[in-house]
Amino acid sequence: MDGDFLTQTSLGRWVDRRRRALRRAVAVLTGTDGSSAVESAYARWAPIYDWVFTIPLVPGQKAAAAVANDLGGRLVEVGVGTGLSLPLYGRNLRVTGIDLSEPMLRRARERVRRETLGNVDGLHAMDATDMSFEAASFDVATVMYVVSVVPDPAAVMAEVERVVKPGGTVIIVNHFASASGILAAAERLLARFSEKLGWDPLFPRETILEATSMELVSESRHGPFGLFSMMVFRR
């Protein structure tokens, strides 16, 4: 059977998911899996995350929420963290969040209660590379500051594409490696502490473009010094 045909059919996607699950199980068993490092990094970040990251990260979240609010419908936020972005979504959106880290999710759930966010349907502990949602469950997906955190960003992109309806929208917000200059030097320095930080400061923009066949409909810069890019894809 032709490889392209397999990747386009539901059988192909099922085989792909099983293959990824197997790869992940082997990685866990052989101790080469990055997720435990990610989980311990975010268990450390959880108590101080909002305090450290609200100022730099909220502009990108606001930009993504503005796009989503114009669309409405069912939205999944992949790697929702402490739920910093949840109050930004309009009431025309029904919101589901997933994250690998229980300490981060606990804070997101507290926020939903504290701010009585009635449009949040659920916050689930789930791996972005293996979500338990049916295919085409959502109109919109937001993936903010996550693709440079996960060991397998291509698997996240494939899974996000699976759970969004054809014609739906996928919004990626992230910092991508700078080509040169003072920022590039700072990124190289930070990269030495990548595991402790819980993200890869040298993450290339091309990784996302190569991982998907979705149409890139817009790209813009946000946050301090335009550090973060927002990519909007049509599924």
Ligand X SMILES: C[S@@+](CC[C@H](N)C(=O)[O-])C[C@H]1O[C@@H](n2cnc3c(N)ncnc32)[C@H](O)[C@@H]1O
Nearer to ligand X, 121 or 130 (CB): 130
Nearer to ligand X, 100 or 171 (CB): 100
Nearer to ligand X, 126 or 214 (CB): 126
Least separation in angstroms between residue 184's CB and ligand X is: 21
Nearer to ligand X, 6 or 26 (CB): 26
Least separation in angstroms between residue 146's CB and ligand X is: 4
Residue 140 corresponds to which tokens in the numbers above? 């919109």
Least separation in angstroms between residue 56's CB and ligand X is: 10
Least separation in angstroms between residue 79's CB and ligand X is: 3
Nearer to ligand X, 61 or 169 (CB): 61
Please state, in angstroms and as integers, the Cα–Cα distance from residue 74 to each residue in 41, 78, 185, 204, 229, following that order.
Answer: 30, 13, 40, 30, 23
Of all residues in this chain, which one has the CB nearest to ligand X in the complex? Answer: 81
| Cα gap 226→7, rounded to integer Å | 36
User: What is the distance of C-alpha 215 from the center of its chain?
Assistant: 18
Those residues with Cβ within 8 angstroms of residue 199's Cβ, 6 or more apart along the chain or in another chain: 145, 148, 149
Least separation in angstroms between residue 135's CB and ligand X is: 18
Task: Report strand pairing: 164-174 vs 228-234.
Answer: antiparallel
| Cα gap 222→88, rounded to integer Å | 16
Q: In the beta sheet, which residues pair with residue 144?
A: 173
Which residues are at the interface with ligand X (CB under 6 A)? 35, 38, 42, 57, 61, 79-81, 84-85, 98-101, 104, 127-129, 144-146, 149-150
